[in-house]
Structure 1
Amino acid sequence: MAVTDRARTTSREDRQQTTSSTGRKGAVGLGVLLALLATVVWSGSFVATRGMSGTVPPVQAVFWRWIIAAVAVTPFAARQAWRQRALIREHIGYTSLATLFGVTLYNTIVHQAGLTTSASNMGTIMAASPVIMALYARLGGERLGARRVFGMLLAALGVLLLVGKGSLPLDFGAGDLWMFAAAFSFATYSALLKRKPAEIGGLAFLITTFVLGALMLAPAYAISLHVQGGFEATPATIGPLLYVGVFSSAVAFFSWNKAVSLIGAARAGVVYYLQPVCVAGLGLLLLGERTGPAQLLCMALILGGVALASATRR
């Protein structure tokens, strides 16, 4: 009888372990898909940002981006944010810091870079941010593992070769350097997400950062209006603003934040290496830009590195 009871207990523990393992794999799979969704949507934002570079001043573009984003998420997030207003006030220091790096600085720098570099370069250089995310993760005590490190190095090599058009000696312009600063800002934001208070809901956090981001940009927006004047509201300006406000902000940021909570910034950052591949694909579809054999080889390195680094252990 005792043997039977022990056998039943062992069987039940095995089923629980199997269920727990399946749940972890499901969470990892969902996290990777959400990170991929954010990456694809953000790839389109580089094309939209580049398209606005000659018509909408950077600060004004970013300010209206967050106004549109806040309006877009209000129907879904307002109730949760109101219920959690005391928590938000309690953690306003953390939320403001995350907003500064992920909303205010990052996107303003991206729009500034769009004045002097191509959309393809913007997407490719942003793929450097996973390296910084991994460094933050390691400093935070996370073990990366040899396989993930090797995959990241392989993907990073593909990115460098893609930027250098097949060779490693690189020649960066002013816009490219701005993009490296944007990569650092975004990686810092992603690292901060791991410290988000668990009791603050994802939608409440999202709308709070959008509103804070617009408030932080308001003084610079007023100065830009006074010095540069406003921009003309045409389909060529409103269309890209709606894309970056609704999709690149509301949809992509929610997906990315959820992905980081599920799989961590380092693993989500590995998926972000797909940025140059996505941008190249959009360039081919929307702009007719052709991709040569050398670029295909670089993309294969990036894809292989991402697959290796983001795979789960058996």
Structure 2
Amino acid sequence: MNDEIKGMALGVVGVAIFSITLPATRIAVSGLEPVIVGLGRAVVAAGLAALTLAITRQPLPTPAQLKRLVVTALGVVLGFPLFSAIAMLYVPAVHGGIVLGVLPLATTAAGAVFCGEKPSPKFWAVALLGSALVVAFAMIRGAGALQAADLWLLAAAVSAGAGYAVGGELSRTMGGWQVICWALIVSLPFIVPPVLWYLPDVDWRAPLPVWGAFLYVAVFSQFLGFFAWNRGLAMGGVARVGQVQLLQLFLTLLASAVLLGEVIDAVTIGFAVAVVGTVAISRRMPVARRDV
């Protein structure tokens, strides 16, 4: 099994973990402030990161690595969690399928800008087709018309794309789990003050599902999921592995079927097969990567 296939497999693991993020965020913000959900989850994850780094005695990042860690932190620790939490106040989780359609394109574009990757025109064409299929499916499933909250979702997609690309590239030399751990530590000066500001307003008697959802996005979405995701991007390439994100909406629906008994209809299966096809085809399209 070559590095590209391993990278794709790790990408699927990461996306499977991330697939619960938007529904869990939707549940969490029903009882907690968006800032507590969006940034508080990172504070919890940063505690786990600090413990992990201390136990494994990791060396401090170099100045060059620190610059990229700041970009990664702004994207995946600050931007995406906060913007998506705000959006989930106003739109249902299925509406988030729109951002899941745009996110792979944002990741590919960020890979070209920040990491020197050069996807071929054919790759871009297949990527656009896959994104269009996901957005169309989200609309059919009841995402509804575009609205003001989609600006928050767009900001979330751009933030995540940049953070994924830079973090994935940095993982080639630093290690996937080390990148997310240090990114969380670097983010603390940005996230602790607003969390402390909103802390007195926290409803500690919020229902158990609210706290369960918060713990999921803190431990899995913000921490463990990136162990696999960053390593996958490093091994398989930002653009190529980034296309795996197209499967996220369908994995979310699959989880809903298993956990909540929701029915997966023929339309869902048809779109899922088509999207899997675009991901498979994109693997055959040329993407130039610069050497480490």
Kindly provide the CA deviation profile for residues 38-67 of structure 1, in whole angstroms up to 9, marking residues without a partner as x.
Answer: 111111121211111210111112333123
Give the root-mean-square deviation of aligned CA atoms. 2.8
> Post-superposition shift, 1:230?
1.1
Distance 1:132 1:205, change over 3 A: closer
Does 102-111 or 284-293 show the bigger shift? 284-293
Kindly provide the CA deviation profile for residues 198-253 of structure 1, in whole angstroms up to 9, marking residues without a partner as x.
Answer: 65344433222112334311222233235xx1122552232112211221122111
Which residue number corresponds to residue 20 of structure 2?
A: 44
Indicate whether 1:100 and 2:74 are aligned: yes
Instruction: Give aligned-pair identity as a percent.
Output: 22
Which residue of 59, 76, 88 corresponds with 1:114?
A: 88
Which residue number corresponds to residue 177 of structure 1?
A: 151
Which residue number corresponds to residue 195 of structure 2?
A: 221
Distance 1:83 1:274, change over 3 A: closer
Which residue number corresponds to residue 31 of structure 2?
A: 55
Kindly provide the CA deviation profile for residues 245-298 of structure 1, in whole angstroms up to 9, marking residues without a partner as x.
Answer: 221122111111111111111111111110111112123333444444433332
Normalising by structure 1, we get a TM-score of 0.80
Which residue number corresponds to residue 129 of structure 2?
A: 154
Q: Which amino acid aligns with 1:144?
A: P
- Counterparts of 1:292 and 1:197, CA distance in 2: 39
- Counterparts of 1:147 and 1:281, CA distance in 2: 30
Contact persistence 2:120–2:285 (CA under 8 A): no
Kindly provide the CA deviation profile for residues 58-99 of structure 1, in whole angstroms up to 9, marking residues without a partner as x.
Answer: 11123331232233344533245x5412x3456433322221
Give the secondary structure class of the aligned counterpart of 1:184: helix
Contact persistence 2:177–2:226 (CA under 8 A): no
Aligned length: 284
Which residue number corresponds to residue 204 of structure 2?
A: 232
- Counterparts of 1:83 and 1:286, CA distance in 2: 38
Kindly provide the CA deviation profile for residues 165-199 of structure 1, in whole angstroms up to 9, marking residues without a partner as x.
Answer: 189x9721233332121111111112222552865
5+ unaligned residues in a row in structure 2: which ranges?
287-292
Give the secondary structure class of the aligned counterpart of 1:46: helix
Q: Which amino acid aligns with 1:32?
A: M
Q: Which amino acid aligns with 1:118?
A: P
Distance 1:235 1:203, change over 3 A: same
Which residue of 152, 166, 169 corresponds with 1:192?
A: 166
Contact persistence 2:19–2:252 (CA under 8 A): yes
